[in-house]
Amino acid sequence: MKLFITGSTGYLGKELIPLLAKSQDHLYLLVRKNSLQKARALYSQYDNITLVKGDLTEPDLIEGSVLEFLENVESILHMGAFYDLKGDHPTCYMQNVLGTLNVLFFAKLCKKLKTFHYVSTIAVSGDHGGEFNEDDFYASQNFSNPYSSTKYEAERIVRNVKGDFKIKIYRPGIIIGHSETGEFEKIDGPYYFWERMAKFKSVAPAITHLPFLPLPLNSKATLPVVSVDHVAKMIALGVAGEESEEKIKCYQLVDREAPKVEELIYRSLAAFNIQTKIVSMDNHPLIEKSFDLLGIPSEIIHYMTTPVNYGNKNAKKDLGLKELSSFDTYHEAIFKKAKKLLREGK
């Protein structure tokens, strides 16, 4: 299979591309000019990888002739996106929505295209509570940040595109470090909390006047984390798998036994040798002030206060999710690396 890929130099891409290079005939990696040096350092050892200079935000997508790609590309994997919960709407829209439109326009010109693989996010569930399954999308949900709303719009566009190719959508949960090494790339999700725990002594003066540490907790709420290597393995299986009978098939890539938020917090405190009193509070404006003090984005509050069950029947059946280890078995590696790097000021 000859595969055209966006987002190859990102955190997930660096884990996924080596797997695809082993299973696919040839990979064409779309890379921005200012990322070419990074891409060469990552992938120059692979004979079946071609770096293609271009930009998601440009209508032409690719610099130079596109004939080779239009004639040969059989599958497209679009995972390029702007991921930042604090990102502004224009930037998120340009990268996530217009970028997806540009890739889809290119896809419709590829004569041999069989499948369009799109990496979305479980954040498309917005503020929806309760069950959110792989077939769910329109759920009257609202969004608290431009990243989530623009990824929702991008998935909507992918779902409604007209073409002779099939579509596979992957919705990763909150991607954390490698399940074996604990290695991670950026402060995100639970790492905001862990970063403050690693520097607890420096923030202690600001919270010593508090009789307790208030956090919004629902005893049934879980945090939909998933290790980066598990996401990569599942997407690689999805790309290599048989063509779906359905026009659109969606997979939610979350840990098969997502940890409860309350349990995760207490494990985190123990891992960082911190003794403090935690008091559960409802989702209240004062909590946002507390989060500002702790350096945690208010967008994470939803996961802590609203129980959501992300169904993953398709991922278990087709992508080997049920064979992958759960957070309960690899959390020590995650905590160990987080403690080391965050205390060093990663």
Tell me if residue 326 falls in helix, strand or coil: coil
How much is the CA Rg of the chain, to the nearest whole Å?
A: 21
Tell me which residue range forms the domain holding 273. 179-223+258-308+326-343
User: What is d(CA 271, CA 101) in angstroms, rounded to the nearest whole number?
Assistant: 44
> Is 30 inside any structural domain?
yes
Q: Tell whether 216 and 235 lie within a shared domain.
A: no
Q: What is the mean pLDDT of the chain?
A: 90
pLDDT at res. 285? 62
Indicate the residue among 210, 234, 253 that finishes a domain.
Answer: 253
Taking residues 272-292, report their average pLDDT.
70
The span from the CA of 346 to the CA of 342, in Å, is 5
Q: Do 33 and 91 belong to one domain?
A: yes
Q: Strands, DSSP E only, in the chain?
A: 2-6, 26-31, 49-53, 75-78, 115-119, 130-132, 166-172, 174-176, 213-216, 225-227, 248-253, 278-281, 308-310
Residue 315 domain flag: no
Check residue 343 and give its pLDDT. 76
Together in a domain, 187 and 279 = yes
| Type of residue numbered 131 | E
pLDDT at 107: 97
DSSP for 223-284?
A: --EEEHHHHHHHHHHHHHSPPPSSSEEEEEE--TTPPBHHHHHHHHHHHTT----EEEE-S-
Closest CA to 253 of 79, 113, 90: 79
Judge whether 64 lies within some domain: yes
Answer whether residue 314 is part of any domain: no
In a domain, 164, yes or no: yes
Cβ contacts of 209 within 8 Å, gap of 6 or more: none
Please, is 250 exposed, middle or buried when counting C-beta atoms within 10 Å of its C-beta (0-12, 13-18, 19+)?
A: buried
CATH at 145: 3.40.50.720
Which residues on neighbouring strands pair with residue 121, listed in sequence order?
none
DSSP character for 125? G
pLDDT of residue 111: 94
Question: Are 87 and 213 part of one and the same domain?
Answer: no
| Identity of the amino acid at 245 | E
- pLDDT of residue 218 exceeding 90, the answer is no
Q: Is residue 336 part of a domain?
A: yes
Predicted confidence (pLDDT) per residue in 156-185, tens digit:
999 999 999 999 999 999 999 999 999 999
Task: Say yes or no: 204 and 91 in one domain.
Answer: no
pLDDT band at 242 (very low <50, low <70, confident <90, very high): confident
**Total domains present in the chain:** 2
Are the C-beta atoms of residues 259 and 328 closer than 8 Å to each other? yes
6 and 118 in a single domain? The answer is: yes
Verify that 212 and 238 share a domain, yes or no.
no
Mark whether 135 and 30 lie in a shared domain. yes
On whether residue 120 sits in a domain, the answer given is yes
- Separation of first and last alpha carbons in the chain: 38
Which residues face 28 on adjacent strands?
A: 4, 50
194 shares a domain with 90: no
Domain-located, residue 144: yes
Give the tokens for residue 343: 């205390």
Question: Is residue 183 located within the same domain as residue 244?
Answer: no
| 164 shares a domain with 75 | yes
Residues 139 and 210 both lie in one domain:
no
Whether this prediction's pTM lies above 0.85 is answered by yes
